[in-house]
Amino acid sequence: MPLKLSLVALAVLQSAAIVPSTPDLGQAAGRCRPDETGPAFIVNVAGLRDQVGRLKLEVYPANDDDFLEDDNILISAGKTFRRVEVPVPRTENPELCIRVPRPGRYSLALLHDRNSDRRFNWRRDGIGFAGNPRLGFSQPDAEEAVAVAGSGRTKITIVLNYLRGLRLRPLEGD
């Protein structure tokens, strides 16, 4: 009987340890600060369809188990998750800065949420990943979305993809 009670107590403690999901999760850790010198990605956003809505950039561990996993699960497990969410800047080639905990490999995803509803709609919104993999009908593997952060700010470009014909692809070129 004591073992059964211990398992029940452990289950209750584990469920209490999960951080509730909110749109703000990961933003404090992801937000770059002026004159900060630590590791971060400067992401050039290429191929915006228009300048409406919001851009959401997220950093994940570079493995398939954690890539695009729920933010509260990653944070509760002490794994890397960072988010920067901003209104689409009115510049032609916007740049976003997102901090990472240390130099290394990370998988990055970028969403152009055109109606600011905080959900990806494949018919309307744009999406892109570090490494700019060709998109099919499923998400890319974590390895296809990897970028390597150095000890300072590392510049990368992510090309957004929108529904064109029967698949998601960049607005220009193929």
pLDDT on residue 113: 97
pLDDT on residue 27: 83
Q: What is the pLDDT of residues 156-171, one digit of tens each?
A: 999 999 998 888 999 8
Closest CA to 76 of 156, 14, 160: 14
Q: What is the pLDDT of residues 61-77, one digit of tens each?
A: 999 999 999 999 999 99
Residue 4 CA to residue 25 CA, distance in Å, equals: 34
pLDDT on residue 105: 98
Helix (H, G, I), strand (E, B) or coil at 34: coil
Q: Where are the domains of the chain?
A: 23-169
Closest CA to 61 of 108, 127, 19, 130: 108
DSSP assignment of 100-121 equals: -SSSEEEEEEEEEETT-SSS--
Other CB atoms within a 10 A radius of the CB of residue 106 amount to 27
Residue 163 CA to residue 138 CA, distance in Å, equals: 13
Residue 109 CA to residue 130 CA, distance in Å, equals: 7
pLDDT on residue 165: 85
Radius of gyration of the chain (CA): 18
pLDDT on residue 133: 97
Residue 71's H or E segment, with its range, is helix 71-76
**Whole-model pTM?**
0.85
Helix (H, G, I), strand (E, B) or coil at 58: strand
DSSP assignment of 5-23 equals: HHHHHHHHHHHHTSPPP-T
pLDDT on residue 92: 81
Instruction: Render each residue's pLDDT in the chain as its tens digit; 174 residues.
Output: 444 434 344 343 444 455 556 667 778 888 999 888 999 999 999 999 999 999 999 999 999 999 999 999 999 999 999 999 999 999 888 999 999 999 999 999 999 999 999 889 989 999 999 999 999 878 999 999 999 999 999 999 999 999 988 889 998 765
